[in-house]
Structure 1
Amino acid sequence: MQPAEQSGPGTSPRDAPSVLVPVSHFWYVSHAYRDDMERIEKENGVRIEAEVKVRIEADRTNPGAGKALAEFSSLVRKCAGGSASTEDPLVDAGLTMEGRHWGLLSTSYSERIDQIKEKFAVSFHESGVTGGKVTVKARSRRSDGRRSMESHAVRALLRLCQEAVLPLPRQSAAGLGGESEGAAGGPASDGQSGCGAADADDDCPICKDKISDKKRLQCKHEFCEDCLTQSVRHMGHVCPVCRDVFGVMEGDQPEGQMSGSLDPAPLPGFPDCGTIVIAYWIPTGRQSGKHPNPGTFYPSLYREAYLPDSREGRDVYRLLTRAFQQKLVFTVGASRTTGMDNQVTWNDIHHKTSRSGGAENFGYPDAGYLSRVREELKAKGIE
């Protein structure tokens, strides 16, 4: 919802259909009902914009501003007038799950949980219940205690749990926990507290219970075998405590090719050597079960990247080759530059895609780049 450069045919911004909405209500609607907002804009060919008041501008081909205004006004009244979201039973009941699963979620997905807290201005509170389960509730940090924000926060947490394929109890219409539902391919709950009978003096960092069938990683952290197995399924071969990599990580990069060639021209900051030109090619294909939309096509991708043909540059090239072989360089998802879904994108290993322009333009000179990319590769177990 960026400011419009032009108004609809014959309509100035001053004359565009508008509706007076309290700023707090518009903030709430635009965050909590983002999908509805985007649908209204797309179906009616308009953009919904907010200054002191909400203004709706029609485009040149589909002047549906009047209808969009009526739908948006209805949406505002829905949330401001006491909609079902303010009476969400999950706000009071909370989410009930196995204690070990909440431990895994809060450890492995802590950044995502922090994002939910920040977006809806809430905190999560946990309380123990019988049978080794825990109930998690959202509580607003604002003085007015907005239940609507608590509702959307707990629903966002529920979606995160489902995304992580954690076994959550089935939530009834009243939001009460029922029997636990096992994750696909994962171990079923035995109905006992924690991970089973205690056979060690130490507690597992994931389930917070006595360790059963102890597994010790090279970083010296110890876990229940069952807890560690689930952690590997959800976040790969990374220690849930210190993020140290064990075993061999393999990503979801589509099939493709990587090649390297030498160019005698130097890069800025490396006047005494030539340039390694890396070429990546990912042909068009269908997404696999590891990707966001299995069966959906993704378009082809060609990218070039540049390294100095120095001793350190050649070593980084060797490490990048290993990363590509382990399918860690690219992934499939939403493009960070265009916002389009189902695209082949970089996967958190930074590349220099320009020879010049400095760090702000993904180019050289950038004195710290080689050491930074080595750290990124080390975090994925490649060193």
Structure 2
Amino acid sequence: MTDPTPAARSELAAKTRTIAHEVAARHAADVDLQARFPTETFEAAKQAKLLSAAVPRELGGAGADLRELTTMCSELAQGCGASGMVLAMHHIQVACIARHGLASPFFRRYLEEVCERQLLIGSVTSEVGVWGDTRSSICALVRHGDRCRLEKDATTASYAEHADDLLVTCRRGPEAAASDQILVLLRKPALALTKTTTWDTLGMRGTCSPGFKVASDLPEEQVVPGSFADASAQTMVSYSHILWSGVWVGIAADAVARASAYVRAEARKKPGTVPPHASRLAEVSVMLQTMRNNTAAMAAEFDAITARPDGMEQLLTIGWALKMNNLKVSASEMAPAIVHQALQIVGINGYKNDSKYSVGRQYRDALSAALMISNDRVLSKNASMLLVYKDE
């Protein structure tokens, strides 16, 4: 993707920040309470043309790199964690198409349509029976001449009812191995969704991602070229772990901002004195800075790698996979720890849902981080890789 100019970076971040403050934050409590999709936020995002940020500039998008996309997700998550996560998931789907589908005339036209119509793309990588292993599928694409049929029973389908289209994983064909997967774009007009579970969750309630049985008839051209194995290793894993970390940074930053406002309010009551919890605020600011810098550094390193001629090959290495997994585990553990510290600073006013210093929603949203691809699963993979990896 073309690296955007500093002015373009600033404009994207500014637009997202405005929507976060003026729209997402205003509706966040109701989105959480009702477990409803943040419709107002994404109407504003479409008007601001934020949904085409990851589309290459030659196709009408902003050509944003991973650093800018991460900033966007962090900014939006400070207003509403669920909104930030939906934006992150959308950017991941667009990036998979933009980085692996440009050899296809269909997908080039599709990305132009994403820009024109500001389409929101959802994700369906989970499946009943594979026990959370996204690199394994039971369902398969069945071909009948130049047409295909796909049926998938998904444990979760990211904001599927609210997305314009879905990017789905499946086996290449009925005879293919479980790990021989492809990515398939399902267009909403030809898509049948049957809800199989509810979405009454502890946190991230506005992401609205219950289980669905997904079925669609489609032309062969809607299959993303290549294998999901490559798309996963070279794009989906990195974009997921870095953008998700950006979301968790935003949630943690919101909690720290509330704690900071509380400490300043306490300081104004007794001019010339340092409030008792000010030292805790200093400690948690160190944690937040560490988390933010680690996420930003990984985004910058990814962009630097992809700018090299052999960048796509470097993203297939064990060393890079370990870095991404380490970021995911670290950020997902630090986010709830930071919000917990913010709660300790504010005390009962942070615990009460009707307080302006409340961090209840942020706490519940942050707890989802360790469950989005279980940290136990990630660490188990790391353990296997470290047995053969030589750190150079």
Q: Which has the higher helix share?
A: 2
* Fold shared by both chains (TM-score > 0.5): no
Q: Which has the higher strand share?
A: 1
Tell me the TM-score range normalised by the shorter chain: under 0.3
What is the TM-score with the length of structure 1 in the denominator? 0.26
